[in-house]
A and B are shown apart, each in its own frame.
Chain A
Amino acid sequence: MAKVLYIDYQKCTGCRTCEQVCSVKHDGVVNPMRSRIKVMKWEAEGLYVPVSCQQCQDAPCMNVCPVKAISRDDEMGCVEIDYDACIGCRSCVIVCPFGAMSFNTIDRQVFKCDLCDGDPQCVRFCDVGAVQYVDAEEVAIDKKRHAAERLSLAGKESAALLAQF
């Protein structure tokens, strides 16, 4: 099964290195506006959430494209753009529920995460592991483990509370 980009936003320190390396890798320039991943911030409360393409199974961008320029590579688990076919109508930008399809106003074309052909640079450079590249099953197991930890902790705490009375 193909790997997926797994974003654990709680770990994000807000440094935006992912944006830097993404734009350098793809375009040879630093420009957060060109980055496929973007850290959304609420600085007043210290909340940072990286947002990127979810590589949807039933991708709205793919479905809406009038010239079939967007397709899904199941082996890579990646939704791709064929720039030879793309007419730059930006319908995909409109329908993406995550805002992960962007329009580059300098080159005047749409762009999205391509998982760097299997070696995502945002993951490689994220030292805190807020962005990971993992097997899809692993994501769920990891989440299950954390949920179980929370449950057992809550159980212990309630037992301790009961013991006090």
Chain B
Amino acid sequence: MPLDRKLAIVDLTTGEIEKKTIPLELRKKFLGGRGLAAYLLLNHTPKDVDPYGPDNVVIISGGILCGTLASGTGRCDVMTKSTLTNLLASGNFGGFFAPELAHAGFHHIMVKGKADHPVYIFCHNGEVEIRDAGDIWGLPVSDTQWAIREDLGDEEVKSAVIGPAGENLVAYANVMTGIKNAAGRCGAGAVMGSKNLKAVAARGTMDIKIAHPDEALEFNKRFIDQITSAKVNQTMGTLGTPFIWGATNSWGGIRTRNFQYNQTEYADDIEPEHLDEIAEETCGEYHMTACYGCQVHCRAQYRIPEGPYKGVYDEGPEYTSQGAFCGETDTPRATTLLVCNHLADKYGVDNLEIGSIISWAMELNEMGILPADKLDGVDLRFGNDDAVIEMIDRICFRQGWLGDTLAKGGIQASDIIGKNSFDYMIQVKGMNNLHSDERATPALALNCALASRGSDHLRSRPAIDLYHLPEPVLRKIYSSPIPYDGPLSSEHTEYIGKPYQVFWHENCYMAVDCLGICKYHTTFLGATLPNFEDWSKVLYYNTGLDMTPEEIWDVARRSNMVERMYQLREGLTRDDLRKGDMLNHRYFDEPTRRGAPDVVGRVIDKKKFVKMIDEFYEHKGLDKEGNIKPETLKELDLENEPSHLL
């Protein structure tokens, strides 16, 4: 049964390995994935722990549906204390690792301590062992995985690994699996690196018994029909996420030259259709590839068409790479995009963070804030493709003063660079924002400020707010599973009703992260995709766990609240620009300069924005300061946390 999948606690200092069954009570409270990971993080780390120290833990946590029969359920969360933000770190990857881990008998691996030499962990049919990684240390992301297969003599092994960026403790290094699947953003890769942990590998042939196989099979068919009939997924299955670039850049939603503009000009070369042509020319007509059990197949294959990296195979690029490597730095060239995307995959570094930090440094250079004698000979100008490519190398290998400084993460780098460098950084909680520009979209701006792990689009972004859906449609979406009769607005420039949308999406995305379902299978980019009602069924047919849509909503609320408890414990305060729920001043002070008529000339109205935060806190059950109300803790059965049940 999926519910039998265990937690393995591995202490790399002592070599001890403990295998634990997840109590049913905890399953019902957190399901798995991100929710259970948040519970483990809160319970197993002391306050103020050094993210790079042995007392930090890294938790690899598959969703409860990983390994079962439900479309798009290969998702796995990686949680730890962040090297980038000094707060909660969470990243989520798809691919094939979590299902393999489930077949090996585990859903969750928690690693403590620090090994005295490079090691990797191998999970196999109920067993866990720590193995030497001396020969593997130093290898890039893909080669690490092939080397582990060779070491174990099994081509079916799947691994979650770090690349050179993680080994070199780059504050935003990823944990990765496959060619490009990444648990990114917060530096979980650096935490693995600090533990001398190169990889967690899995191979399993254990049955995962489906509670109601016939129903699960038939429901999955319906589930798939719903997912593949959505236009947004059909487009994504043809062009990949780059299709979002085309739409967003045309109306003016892409931050360019760090934050100076909100639209990248002369960007035809990186339009999705052109990238698709390159994919077709280099990898053939059928060049889309998928994660485990998924019909969206949103990932393109490509080979770099020209230059020193000509012929190198990689996958993607995603929308995020377009923005980070071409929009923010104003280098909209396909080859630059494909090379940068490849380097990020190869070294195991977060594309958003590294692109953002390079563009931030470019703006500092332009403003004369970076000391000219510390650029190590790099011509750090916007529009200089070579500088972007060169800086990726320098950061990942910490070469020179600038490479080493930027590798520490934005806030740490701004402390070293000094002057008013911090004011130019588009970040929340120490994490740089996605490359999108939210000055014309208050709902999206609110999501950036409030996302639990830092400025981010995958924790609560109401992306469908951009579709101008009629109010009755919005009402239908946001009134399930809990009735909502407050205001809603179809207008993306409005402020009313948006806090509830952000609150609803925060719970929706947490629910999929606990279940292990991909966000492209829910109300993220498409308004017709499955959510709570469907999950109640898919969970029951696959695992036998009988939970109502409302109960799943409560799991999500509870899990989000545990993340909040952790953040508050680690020093989050509402208006703190470095550790709080507040945007950079540029959102309020610098009007947008490009874009559609209802986009150009806009700023976020700070007064209205602060009121939106108040309203969001109210929905979530927080007081005016952003602290958790005692009655909320009681309602969510969190009064006794940390409860150390696991």
Q: Which residues of A contact B (CB under 8 A)?
A: 10-17, 20-21, 24-25, 27-34, 43-46, 48, 105-106, 121, 124-125, 127-128
The 8 Å CB contact of A125, one of B206, B224, B297, is B224
A32 to B313 CA separation, bound complex (whole angstroms): 27
The 8 Å CB contact of A29, one of B210, B220, B224, B288, is B210
A31 to B209 CA separation, bound complex (whole angstroms): 9
Contact A21/B289 with A10-B284, A15-B295, A31-B103 known, Cβ cut-off 8 Å: no
Return chain A residues, CB-CB under 8 Å to B217.
21, 24-25, 121
B562 located at the interface, meaning its Cβ lies under 8 Å from any Cβ of chain A in the complex? no
The 8 Å CB contact of B285, one of A10, A15, A32, is A10
B608 located at the interface, meaning its Cβ lies under 8 Å from any Cβ of chain A in the complex? no
CB pair B69–A20 under 8 Å, yes or no, is: yes
B417 located at the interface, meaning its Cβ lies under 8 Å from any Cβ of chain A in the complex? no
Return chain B residues, CB-CB under 8 Å to A106.
205, 207
How many residues of B are counted as interface, with CB atoms below 8 angstroms from the partner's CB atoms? Answer: 40
Most buried by A among B68, B96, B103, B293: B293
20 A-B pairs (CB sep. < 8 Å): A10-B285, A11-B286, A13-B286, A16-B96, A17-B294, A20-B293, A21-B217, A25-B213, A29-B208, A31-B207, A31-B208, A34-B207, A43-B178, A43-B179, A44-B142, A44-B313, A48-B289, A105-B205, A106-B207, A127-B228
What's the minimum C-beta distance from A124 to chain B, rounded to whole angstroms?
A: 7
Return chain A residues, CB-CB under 8 Å to B216.
24
B residues 286-333 in Cβ contact with A at 8 Å? 286-295, 297, 301, 313, 315
B370 located at the interface, meaning its Cβ lies under 8 Å from any Cβ of chain A in the complex? no
The 8 Å CB contact of A10, one of B69, B207, B286, B297, is B286
A33 to B290 CA separation, bound complex (whole angstroms): 20
Return chain B residues, CB-CB under 8 Å to A48.
289
B588 located at the interface, meaning its Cβ lies under 8 Å from any Cβ of chain A in the complex? no
Contact A29/B295 with A11-B286, A21-B217 known, Cβ cut-off 8 Å: no
At the interface, is chain B mostly helix, strand, loop or mixed? Answer: loop
Residue of B nearest to A11 (CB): B286
Most buried by B among A17, A21, A33, A46: A46
B residues 201-254 in Cβ contact with A at 8 Å? 205-210, 213, 216-217, 220-221, 224, 228
Please list the 7 inter-chain residue pairs (A to B) with the smallest Cβ-Cβ separation, ordered nearest first.
Answer: A15-B290, A13-B290, A29-B207, A28-B213, A13-B297, A46-B301, A33-B205
B603 located at the interface, meaning its Cβ lies under 8 Å from any Cβ of chain A in the complex? no
A21 to B292 CA separation, bound complex (whole angstroms): 12
Return chain A residues, CB-CB under 8 Å to B118.
none
B462 located at the interface, meaning its Cβ lies under 8 Å from any Cβ of chain A in the complex? no
The 8 Å CB contact of A13, one of B67, B71, B178, B288, is B288
A46 to B286 CA separation, bound complex (whole angstroms): 11
Residue of B nearest to A15 (CB): B290
Beyond A21-B220, A30-B208: 20 further Cβ-contacts under 8 Å?
A10-B284, A10-B286, A11-B286, A20-B69, A24-B216, A25-B213, A28-B209, A28-B210, A28-B213, A31-B206, A31-B207, A31-B208, A32-B103, A44-B142, A44-B313, A46-B287, A121-B217, A125-B220, A127-B295, A128-B297
Return chain B residues, CB-CB under 8 Å to A121.
217
B residues 84-127 in Cβ contact with A at 8 Å? 96, 103
Return chain A residues, CB-CB under 8 Å to B283.
46
What's the minimum C-beta distance from A82 to chain B, rounded to whole angstroms?
A: 25
B146 located at the interface, meaning its Cβ lies under 8 Å from any Cβ of chain A in the complex? yes
Q: Which residues of B contact A (CB under 8 A)?
A: 67-69, 71, 96, 103, 142, 146, 178-179, 205-210, 213, 216-217, 220-221, 224, 228, 283-295, 297, 301, 313, 315
Contact A15/B286 with A31-B206, A46-B301 known, Cβ cut-off 8 Å: no
A24 to B2 CA separation, bound complex (whole angstroms): 14
CB pair B69–A30 under 8 Å, yes or no, is: yes
A27 to B209 CA separation, bound complex (whole angstroms): 9
A20 to B294 CA separation, bound complex (whole angstroms): 11
Return chain B residues, CB-CB under 8 Å to A16.
96, 292-293
A43 to B289 CA separation, bound complex (whole angstroms): 10
CB pair A21–B179 under 8 Å, yes or no, is: no
CB pair B209–A46 under 8 Å, yes or no, is: no
Contact A13/B206 with A21-B217, A43-B178 known, Cβ cut-off 8 Å: no
Residue of B nearest to A33 (CB): B205
A44 to B313 CA separation, bound complex (whole angstroms): 7
A127 to B217 CA separation, bound complex (whole angstroms): 15
What's the minimum C-beta distance from B159 to chain A, rounded to whole angstroms?
A: 11
Residue of A nearest to B211 (CB): A28
What's the minimum C-beta distance from B63 to chain A, rounded to whole angstroms?
A: 14
A106 to B208 CA separation, bound complex (whole angstroms): 13
Residue of A nearest to B67 (CB): A30
CB pair B228–A46 under 8 Å, yes or no, is: no
A127 to B290 CA separation, bound complex (whole angstroms): 12
CB pair A24–B301 under 8 Å, yes or no, is: no
CB pair A30–B68 under 8 Å, yes or no, is: yes
Residue of A nearest to B227 (CB): A127
A31 to B206 CA separation, bound complex (whole angstroms): 7
Contact A24/B291 with A13-B297, A31-B205 known, Cβ cut-off 8 Å: no
Residue of B nearest to A34 (CB): B207
A25 to B209 CA separation, bound complex (whole angstroms): 12
A48 to B292 CA separation, bound complex (whole angstroms): 13
Residue of A nearest to B72 (CB): A15
A124 to B218 CA separation, bound complex (whole angstroms): 11
Residue of A nearest to B70 (CB): A20
A16 to B294 CA separation, bound complex (whole angstroms): 8
Return chain A residues, CB-CB under 8 Å to B293.
15-17, 20
What's the minimum C-beta distance from B627 to chain A, rounded to whole angstroms?
A: 43
Return chain B residues, CB-CB under 8 Å to A33.
205
What's the minimum C-beta distance from A14 to chain B, rounded to whole angstroms?
A: 5
Residue of B nearest to A45 (CB): B313
What's the minimum C-beta distance from A12 to chain B, rounded to whole angstroms?
A: 8
Return chain A residues, CB-CB under 8 Å to B291.
15
A74 to B213 CA separation, bound complex (whole angstroms): 30
A128 to B286 CA separation, bound complex (whole angstroms): 10
A151 to B386 CA separation, bound complex (whole angstroms): 42
The 8 Å CB contact of B290, one of A14, A44, A125, is A14
